[in-house]
Copies of this chain bind each other. A is one copy, B any other.
């Protein structure tokens, strides 16, 4: 599904169970996790980027401009253009012209989009609870601190 392309070759110790965790073993694990997320979403006909857009729209309750969406997903505007293209092709979202600003185009979620979003959010919630039950409270504290240092 995915490949930890950055890892094994560059660091032969990548998968060593006893050695120190390299940045690559961390990335490898993250990719594995990411794969699980994508798998769970595939089952409901979504991907992470698509769910993110849909969720932003649901949470906001109104149509959002593509620039606004791009800012929220921390991506470039041209990316949003294409993402919304694909979402619109699936009728999960509709493009509507903005009356105030004629440069702007808003994305509006459709009823089908709402259903899909709910299914996606449920799938993620399940994954999330699995994850939480497999990580002790103290481990979570360590993880949290490490994560903060990384970002």
Given contacts A33-B23, A52-B5, A128-B23, contact A143 B146 (CB under 8 A): yes
So how many copies of this chain end up in the complex?
2
Which secondary structure characterizes the binding site on chain A? helix
Given contacts A26-B147, A33-B27, A147-B29, contact A140 B20 (CB under 8 A): yes
Chain B residues positioned under 8 Å from A143 (CB to CB): 21, 26, 142-143, 146
Contact A5 B147 (CB under 8 A): no
- 5 other A-B residue contacts (CB within 8 Å) besides A5-B49, A26-B147, A143-B143: A5-B74, A6-B48, A27-B37, A32-B151, A142-B142
A-B contact pairs, 14 of them (CB 8 A): A3-B79, A8-B73, A8-B74, A9-B51, A9-B56, A9-B73, A23-B131, A27-B30, A27-B34, A29-B146, A32-B150, A139-B146, A142-B142, A142-B143
